[in-house]
Amino acid sequence: MHKRPSAAARSDNERNHYIVMKENNSAAERAENLLKQLTIEEKLHQLTAQMVFDIGEGYEERRDHLCGSYRNPGHFMHQGGKISSPGEVARRINRDVELSMEAQPHHIPPLEHGESLHGAQWGMASIFPQPIGLASTFDPELVKEAADVIGRETAAVGVHQALAPVVNLSRDVRWGRTIETFGEDPKLASDMGVALCRGFEENGVAATPKHFVDNYADGGRDSNYSTHSERELREVYLKPFEACFKEGGAHGVMASYNSIFNGLPAHANRWLLTKVLRDEWGFDGIVVSDYGGVDGVAGAHRLAADLPEAVAMCLKAGLDVTLAGLKYEAVREAWERGLLTEENIDRAVLRILKLKFALGLFDKPYADPDEADRIVRCDAHKEIALKAARASLVLLENDGILPLCGTKIRKLGVFGPGADVLPTGRNYSGPFAHLWEAPDVLSPLAYFRANSDSAEIVTGPDSDIPTLAPGCDAVLYFTTVVEGEGLDRSDLKLPSYRTASSKDEAAVIVDKAELTVEVDQEASILALASANPNTVVVLMNGAPVDMTAWRGKVRAVLEAWYPGEGGSEAIADALWGRYSPGGKLPVSWPKNVGQLPLFYAFKPSGRGYGYENNDGKPLYPFGYGKSYTSFALGSPKAEKTPDGWEVSVDVENTGAFDGDEVVQIYLASKRTKVVRPLKELAAYKRVSVKKGEKLRAVISVPESIVSYYDADMVYGPHGGEFSLLIGTSADDTPFELRIC
């Protein structure tokens, strides 16, 4: 560990620190003043970060407290069966901050970062539906409630940079990281990303949307080179990022591993990191590398001769911080060899210091352990997690068996590999080497056992289905899927007899180090349906599955995704009819893998959209979802406003249950200057309507929907004929209103 400065040195430094703290008002002025006082060594250390896995004996000797950023130690504390409390995590992070400030000649605090994909991932904080489930709510206000909790619990222990949200679009669901996304649509992903960013930023956490940009290739291959043109990037894949910065206030962004259309990797791409991000969009935060991303410029991409050259290429292009294992010596050598100028370094360091001042790290560097213990997973936060879980459920099929009638169900069978595990998903759930857990959160099977007073729960291994299932009044089958970072799929069928493992430490931190499926799930579902006609499948997954083998042989299918800590209760509420599912699909659901890539907002074809043996249409369209009740939309009206249009439509609940409907508005274009998609989501609104009642939904549609890039890649209102298509999914839009 670096030696603590002498008392005299500390006294001088404290005087300088006081000047930096008090002389100027704005974060920018304070940062500029401090930058002038730093040596080149201090500056170079601000560009570096560290991650130390083992928090055991000798940890502080391995920790380089001069690094400007650090993967918070709380993520690695829960080992040997022990779960550390929020207060203990806060104290450990406080200690890290204290030692870092003591090691810094100018007492510069580190920026402690971590994951917050669907919950603060420093330990056992509140955990929400995986992002694909949050997107299924079609409710940005509810997602903002969840984001406030995540941001509050991230900051509560002293973590002030969240490596989230993921606003990449998934238009090929073979991509294993589909689970981390908000689906295929730029508008929906933008809204959800903005909600997450605001929740972080308003709680003193720098949101860091990732991965910038388009980090998977044809076939859903993660981190492979992007084949999309500049037009495609600007029209589709860059939009959610732009929204996160301009509307969400995000002060961070993480570069992606891949290269893009101009032949350069994102980490060393000046067009992306400077021209678009800063010059065009006005972004004034920090650009961080993905873990090992700078190394990849020399390694995977084979552009740089060595690490110092890769460092120089990235910093000159617009990168600011090298997360998390790149050593200080490589940055130092880039400077000593003349590959970097002090101007290059100052530009990045100024951004880092400005953010640290803006986050209040100099003024209030330490977290309050007692406050962390008080707020993390408090009753109010658990209630929001339950509300989000309920809203994320999507009913795909139902022939009337759901909701289950409690008085008729005396024996309920519960089977499948997803039945007796917590419904959080392994992806970014829980800390290093320890899956998320809490004593008050039950698996679906355990929840049914504890809360089904009128029904006997029958369960057993899948091999016992032929014996156990016939005596039940209804049976449930809970699935699982092997997916996540580094686990792209070439087959969308439910996996069987498969083990996925990784020895990569970076993989362990997202909880996918090992996952085993020990049954043939498709065979089990068919056996269950054969043994008992009242079969319901509950899908636990992060992306669509091929249902060809068993769809039509079961009576209902509920898409639960991985709904988080409130998931078991939410699933039970939906199955028993205490809550009517109202979620909608944020992705087009293919019939089979041969339809991929598949998305609804495609451009016109000169021949057709299908195949010789397939009509090309999805099994379930984007925006699809059934309900226990039925809805009727009245004739909509659109009125011009100074900012766009205001669409009003009556939504009547004509069924027997209270429920939610999502009114969806799509833009259709023709006679434009360039080819445009046949339809694009323009606006939407989720409404709750009691049975027998009717309400008027009023939805704002912005003027900007009629702007686009012309043939010269100039963005603006270039003219055309535009209509609004109104309905309840991308393939169900019975109303059309011409707007211009």
Q: What is the 3-state secondary structure (H, E, C) of 90-127?
A: HHHHHHHHHHHHHHCCCCCCCEEEECCCCCCCCCCCCC
Confidence at 608, pLDDT banded by 50, 70, 90: confident
In this predicted structure, what is the pLDDT of residue 425? 92
Nearest to 647 by CA among 684, 695, 694, 693: 684
Domain span(s) for CATH 3.20.20.300 in the chain = 52-100+109-340+366-374
> With 70 as the cut, is the pLDDT of residue 513 above it?
no
pLDDT (average), residues 428-432: 90
Q: Does domain 631-738 have CATH number 2.60.40.10?
A: yes
CA distance 182 to 133: 8
pLDDT (average), residues 66-76: 95
Q: What are phi and psi of 597, to 5 degrees?
A: -70, 150
Q: What is the 3-state secondary structure (H, E, C) of 159-221?
A: CCEECCCECCCCCCCCCHHHHHCCCCCHHHHHHHHHHHHHHHHCCCCEECCECECCCEECCCE
Domain span(s) for CATH 2.60.40.10 in the chain = 631-738
Q: Do the beta carbons of residue 708 and residue 674 sit within 8 Å?
A: yes
Confidence at 509, pLDDT banded by 50, 70, 90: low
CATH architecture of 393-595: 3-Layer(aba) Sandwich (3.40)
In this predicted structure, what is the pLDDT of residue 514? 62
Q: How many CA atoms lie within 13 A of 509 on its CB side?
A: 22
In this predicted structure, what is the pLDDT of residue 480? 95
Q: Is 24 exposed, middle or buried (0-12, 13-18, 19+ CB in 10 A)?
A: middle
> With 60 as the cut, is the pLDDT of residue 466 above it?
yes
> What CATH topology corresponds to 52-100+109-340+366-374?
TIM Barrel (3.20.20)
> With 60 as the cut, is the pLDDT of residue 713 above it?
yes
> With 60 as the cut, is the pLDDT of residue 12 above it?
no
pLDDT in tens, 614-673: 899 999 999 999 999 999 999 999 999 999 999 999 999 999 999 999 999 999 999 999
CA distance 432 to 455: 39
CA distance 172 to 174: 5
Peptide bond into 211 cis (omega under 30): yes
pLDDT (average), residues 454-466: 96
pLDDT in tens, 270-293: 999 999 999 999 999 999 999 999
Nearest to 563 by CA among 387, 445, 416, 376: 387
In this predicted structure, what is the pLDDT of residue 20? 47
pLDDT (average), residues 684-697: 98
b/e 405-417 (16+ beta carbons within 10 angstroms → b): eeeebeebbbbbb
In this predicted structure, what is the pLDDT of residue 16? 42
In this predicted structure, what is the pLDDT of residue 413? 98
pLDDT in tens, 373-426: 999 999 999 999 999 999 999 999 999 999 998 778 999 999 999 999 999 998
Average pLDDT for the chain: 94
In this predicted structure, what is the pLDDT of residue 18? 39
pLDDT (average), residues 238-259: 98
Domain span(s) for CATH 3.40.50.1700 in the chain = 393-595
Q: How many CA atoms lie within 13 A of 107 on its CB side?
A: 20
Indicate the SS3 state at residue 48. Answer: strand
In this predicted structure, what is the pLDDT of residue 511? 60
Confidence at 4, pLDDT banded by 50, 70, 90: very low
What distances in angstroms separate CA 447 from CA 419, 565, 658, 668, 729, one per listed residue? Answer: 10, 12, 24, 46, 33
Confidence at 7, pLDDT banded by 50, 70, 90: very low
> With 90 as the cut, is the pLDDT of residue 5 above it?
no
In this predicted structure, what is the pLDDT of residue 502? 61
Token code pair at residue 383: 């209630």
pLDDT (average), residues 26-39: 97
In this predicted structure, what is the pLDDT of residue 80? 79
